[in-house]
């Protein structure tokens, strides 16, 4: 299965790999048939996805392009009423991200400094490294359920943006 050793300009060059035979016509036909079937099924699977995307853009684009949608909040809007906007969601997201960042960045930096500079393989450093490794692999839904079970169900605090920030801090 190697190419000949003669140079390509030589009249004795063996340009075809040795040991290979041409594929039978029936195998080529089966390969082409399977390829056509796979592409056809992919096209069939894409039809509902494209349909949902077209409907989403057709119905959602006018609302997104409306300036009021970006500045109104949902105060006074019932769930079956038209209207409202997204400003409350944007402000809430930014607030939760800010609270999470203000609390978790200093804790993370101080933990990293301790592990790199001061732990020197002690038991606290090993336990901290182990816990960081464990928390790295936690899915976000597990962190959210943990915070819900601890903060809301066990301690009795109300559902709030701070509870969401606590879940984000675990991640």
Looking at the 3D structure of the chain, how many domains does it have?
2
In this structure, the answer to whether residues 91 and 162 fall within a common structural domain is yes
Residue 136, pLDDT score: 86
Please report the pLDDT score of residue 57 as a whole number. 95
- Same domain for 165 and 92, yes or no, is yes
Residue 93 and residue 61 share a domain:
no
Query: Does 41 share its domain with 106?
Result: no
Measure the CA–CA gap between 134 and 22, rounded to whole angstroms: 54
In three-state secondary structure terms, 114 is helix
Examine the domain organization and report whether 47 and 97 are in the same domain: no
- Tell me the three state secondary structure of residue 70: helix
Write down the pTM of the prediction: 0.58
H/E element, 93: helix 87-113
Separation between Cα atoms, residue 134 and residue 110, nearest integer Å: 18
Domain holding 4, by residue range, is 1-65
Per-10-residue mean pLDDT, the chain, length 171: 54 61 87 97 97 95 84 70 76 91 94 91 91 88 88 83 86 83
């Amino acid at each position: 299965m190697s190419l000949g050793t003669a140079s390509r300009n030589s009249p004795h060059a063996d340009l075809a790999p040795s040991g290979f035979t041409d594929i039978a016509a029936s195998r080529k036909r089966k390969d082409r048939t399977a390829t056509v079937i796979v592409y056809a099924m992919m096209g069939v699977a894409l039809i509902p996805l494209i349909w949902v995307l077209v409907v989403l853009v057709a119905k959602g684009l006018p609302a997104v392009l409306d300036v009021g949608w970006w500045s109104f909040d949902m105060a006074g809007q019932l769930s079956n009423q038209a209207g409202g906007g997204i400003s409350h969601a944007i402000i809430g997201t930014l607030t939760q991200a800010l609270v999470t960042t203000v609390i978790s960045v200093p804790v993370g930096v101080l933990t990293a400094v301790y592990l790199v500079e001061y732990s020197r393989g002690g038991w606290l450093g090993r336990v901290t490294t182990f816990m960081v490794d464990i928390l790295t692999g936690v899915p976000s839904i597990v962190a959210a359920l943990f915070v819900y079970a601890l903060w809301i169900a066990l301690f009795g605090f109300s559902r709030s943006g701070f509870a969401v920030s606590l879940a984000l801090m675990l991640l």
